[in-house]
């Protein structure tokens, strides 16, 4: 079985703290820089699954780096360098406590809500009679709170401003950035024969300036459909062929797991783990349009430590 990186516990020069997220381990260097390690952990329904997926961290890190570079003219972003295939180093910002989710199509959790009768989605009123995977006339923004633990919660623009989570001025700037980033992501996806269906962006602030932070347009933060055959499948009401982590969620649902109390995560066989790894590599090659080059995986921990320490010493 290939090696997967599921835990890091470094002590880099100047390190002040470390935060272990669902997928990323984030090291604070002197309150100035963040060293973000994209591990091979995989989460679904806000639960970290018991086995890591080889090369998943490299896939996510390299896709995010590619898209941060491709959108730097729209909004300043936190990235400074990628000293290792699984690591991005960037500016430490104070993150806003909301995630900006933007949807071009009615699918995923929004569709599940719609089917259950919800017509007001984060302050956006949806008409009757919509179908699964239907394109919205204009993309809609459906923000969520950013939970420290447990589930993120849907919230409206009005509630965000009223609760003082984000100022009106900052929120409206993030809205503009979100729309512009989604348009750029959609154009890049279309050039690869893909549809960017929905995605999330996170923003932070440093010295009064808003920055795009974290990952962007990866299969963990975004959903892609294949453009070829989309209309035909939509007309027939058939499931879309998609590039996203949704295939993992579907596998869990089929095995009676949706992260609810008392439910057991199904057994992840080596064969299943390998198949998920192969899907992530396919995602990379489809989204970036380049062959994926596997990084050396015999001693991942030592490789990352060496690469990051060398960078920080510069």
Instruction: Answer yes or no: is pLDDT of 246 > 90.
Output: no
Strand partners, 229: none
The reported pLDDT for the residue numbered 247 is: 85
Q: How far apart are CA 306 and CA 308, in angstroms?
A: 6
Tokens 């179908």 belong to: 131
pLDDT score of 1 more than 80: no
pLDDT(149) > 70: no
| Whole-number average pLDDT of the chain | 95
Q: What is the pLDDT of residues 75-112, one digit of tens each?
A: 999 999 999 999 999 999 999 999 999 999 999 999 99
Q: Is the dihedral of CA 286, 288, 293, 299 positive or negative?
A: negative
Tell me the average pLDDT across 112-132.
Answer: 97
pLDDT of 212 above 80: yes
User: Residue 86 burial by CB count (10 A; 0-12/13-18/19+): exposed, middle or buried?
Assistant: buried
* 3-class SS string, 275-296: HHHHHHHHHHHHHHCCCCCCCC
- Average pLDDT of the residues in 112-128: 97
- Kindly compute the dihedral angle of the four CA atoms of residues 309, 4, 47, 124, in this order, to the nearest 10 degrees: 70
Q: How many CA atoms lie within 13 A of 217 on its CB side?
A: 28
Question: What's this model's pTM, rounded to 2 decimal places?
Answer: 0.92
| pLDDT at residue 118 tops 90 | yes
Q: Which of 52-72 are b and which e, b meaning 16 or more Cβ less than 10 Å from the residue's Cβ?
A: bbbbbbbbbbbbbbbbbebbe
Beta bridge partners of 212: 77, 203
Domain positions in the chain are: 95-204+214-224
CATH class of 95-204+214-224: alpha beta
* Mean per-residue pLDDT, 136-151: 87
Number of H helices, E strands in the chain: 8, 17
Angle, to 10 degrees, between the axis of helix 56-70 and the axis of helix 270-288?
Answer: 20
Give the mean pLDDT of 178-197: 97
* Overall average pLDDT of the 64-83 stretch: 98
The position carrying tokens 């390190």 is 15
Rounded CA-CA distance 266/66 in Å is 34
Structure tokens that stand for 10 in this block: 């470094």
- What average pLDDT does this structure show over 283-310? 94
Q: Select from 12, 227, 270 the least CA-distant residue to 133.
A: 227
Q: Is 311 helix (H, G, I), strand (E, B) or coil?
A: helix
Phi-psi region of 114 (alpha: psi -120 to 50; beta: other; left: phi over 0): alpha
């Amino acid at each position: 079985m290939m090696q997967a990186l599921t835990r890091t516990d470094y002590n880099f020069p100047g390190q002040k703290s470390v935060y272990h997220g669902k997928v990323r381990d984030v090291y604070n260097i002197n309150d100035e820089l963040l060293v973000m390690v994209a591990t091979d952990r995989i989460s679904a329904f806000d639960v970290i699954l018991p086995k890591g997926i080889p090369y998943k961290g490299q896939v996510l890190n390299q896709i995010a780096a590619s898209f941060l570079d491709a959108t730097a003219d729209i909004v300043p972003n936190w990235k400074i360098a990628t000293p290792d295939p699984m690591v991005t180093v960037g500016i430490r910002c104070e993150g806003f406590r909301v995630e900006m989710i933007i949807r071009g199509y009615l699918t995923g959790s929004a569709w599940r809500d719609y089917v259950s009768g919800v017509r007001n989605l984060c302050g956006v009123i949806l008409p009757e009679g919509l179908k699964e995977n239907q394109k919205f006339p204009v993309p809609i923004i459906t923000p969520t709170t950013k939970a420290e633990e447990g589930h993120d919660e849907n919230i409206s623009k009005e509630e965000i401003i009223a609760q003082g989570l984000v100022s009106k001025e900052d929120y409206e700037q993030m809205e503009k950035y979100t729309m512009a980033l989604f348009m750029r992501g959609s154009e890049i996806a279309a050039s690869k024969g893909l549809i960017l269906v929905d995605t999330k962006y996170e923003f932070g602030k440093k010295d009064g300036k808003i920055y795009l932070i974290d990952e962007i347009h990866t299969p963990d933060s975004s959903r892609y459909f294949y453009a070829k055959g989309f209309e035909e499948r939509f007309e027939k009401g058939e499931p879309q062929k998609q590039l996203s982590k949704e295939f993992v969620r579907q596998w869990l649902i089929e095995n009676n797991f949706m992260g609810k109390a008392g439910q057991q995560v199904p057994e992840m066989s080596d064969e299943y783990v390998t198949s998920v790894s192969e899907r992530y590599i396919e995602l990379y090659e489809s989204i970036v349009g380049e062959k994926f080059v596997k990084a050396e995986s015999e001693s991942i921990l030592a490789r990352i430590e060496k690469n990051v320490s060398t960078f920080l010493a510069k």
